Amino acid sequence: MHSERSRRVYFILISILLVVALFAGCSHKPTDAEIASEVQNKINADPTIPAKQISVADTNGVVTLSGSVNSDLERIAAANDASQVEGVKTVVNNLQVAPAAAASAPAQPWPASSPSRPRTRPSRREVVRTTTTVVTIPEGTSLSVRLIDSIDSDRNKTGDKFRASLESPILAGGRVIVPKDADVDGEILALNSAGHFAGRSELSLALTTLSFNGKTYEIETDQYKKEGASRGKRTAETVGGGAAVGALIGGLTGGGKGAAIGAGIGAGAGTGVQAVTKGQQIRLPSETLLEFRLNVPVTVEPSASSRNAGRARME
């Protein structure tokens, strides 16, 4: 008996230790060095980036890439690789595209003893160095927008576009990456308007583009969904109420048969009133504040100012 009890206690202790170890493993937060190492490994394993002269640094989830690559496509690929690593909040891409090699070696000047021959200067190919910094906004970033166009389930239809503006700037490392009031476009993905007697209005929206500083970026977000209240129950109540009022009128004007006639008239009146009353429509007026989240990362050139210059704001 004592041995059986000891085995049970031992089993319980082992179970507790396993649970504690499991929670400890799940709650581990990667360090800056671990994040930087994971990003470096992911970039090194990417076959689309043959140039590996890339260094990675991380500070509290803000990853900075520096070094050189062969093309802008490699710059973007490196930023996308970094954004997919767990623990990365923002990617600051300082990678530069390596300049092209000179077309040929400089020509040697003619000797001074031959004055009749002209001295020629070596031709040089113009070298353009890419110095623009890009930042990748990671998946899950919140986008708070304010509608410019109103949306009405009784007027709009599926596929309609709408305009909005960014309510709050997007920041990285204390710096404004996308300014407040940046232009945002969206699309009505689904819209059902409530019908007579019954039915429910349904609305589904998503954002499609983000524009600022003269550039437009395609984005993919989650959906904003809203449903209007159904009128089914309300219809029955209105019809019943009309019958009751009709019966009262009939009783006052003659009783008996008059009450029955009045009830029929009242029921018909109630039905007629409700027949022209649709279910609750969904209306989102201009200036309505909506919340979305990015479904995929987007790489942008950071804003040069705190506001979206040249924009006509709707007041």
Of 258 and 144, more confident: 144
Q: Are residues 184 and 290 located together in one domain of the fold?
A: yes
314 inside domain: no
CATH of the domain at 226: 2.40.128.260
Of residues 116 and 192, more confidence is placed in: 192
Indicate the DSSP class of residue 24: H
- For residues 285 and 148, membership in a common domain is answered with yes
Give the number of C-alpha atoms closer than 13 A to the C-alpha of residue 5, restricted to the C-beta side. Answer: 2
Name the residue with higher pLDDT: 106 or 94.
Answer: 94
Q: What is the pTM of this model?
A: 0.51
Backbone angles phi, psi at 290, to 5 degrees: -125, 155
> Is the CB of residue 236 less than 8 Å from the CB of residue 158?
no
**206 and 287, same structural domain?**
yes
| pLDDT of the residue at 153 | 87
Domain interval for residue 134: 29-99+130-138
Q: Are residues 221 and 293 in the same domain?
A: yes
Domain count of the chain? Answer: 3
H-type helices in 27-127, by residue range?
32-44, 72-83
77 in a structural domain = yes
In a domain, 159, yes or no: yes
Query: For 273-300, what is each residue's pLDDT tens digit?
Result: 333 445 678 899 999 999 999 999 999 9
Between 122 and 145, residue with greater pLDDT: 145
Mark whether 205 and 292 lie in a shared domain: yes
Confidence (pLDDT) at 2: 60
Q: Are residues 146 and 199 in the same domain?
A: yes
- pLDDT digit string (tens) for 71-97? 888 888 888 888 888 888 888 888 888
pLDDT at 266 over 80: no
At what angle are helices 32-44 and 72-83 packed, to 10 degrees? 140
Nearest to 177 by CA among 303, 309, 89: 303
Percentage of residues in the chain having pLDDT higher than 70: 63
Domain assignment present for 76: yes
pLDDT > 50? residue 3: yes
* Rounded distance between C-alpha atoms, residue 112 and residue 291, angstroms: 76
Lookup: tokens for 125: 């190919």
Q: Residue 160 — pLDDT band, cuts 50, 70, 90?
A: very high
Q: Are residues 260 and 157 in the same domain?
A: no
**Do 191 and 47 fall into the same domain?**
no
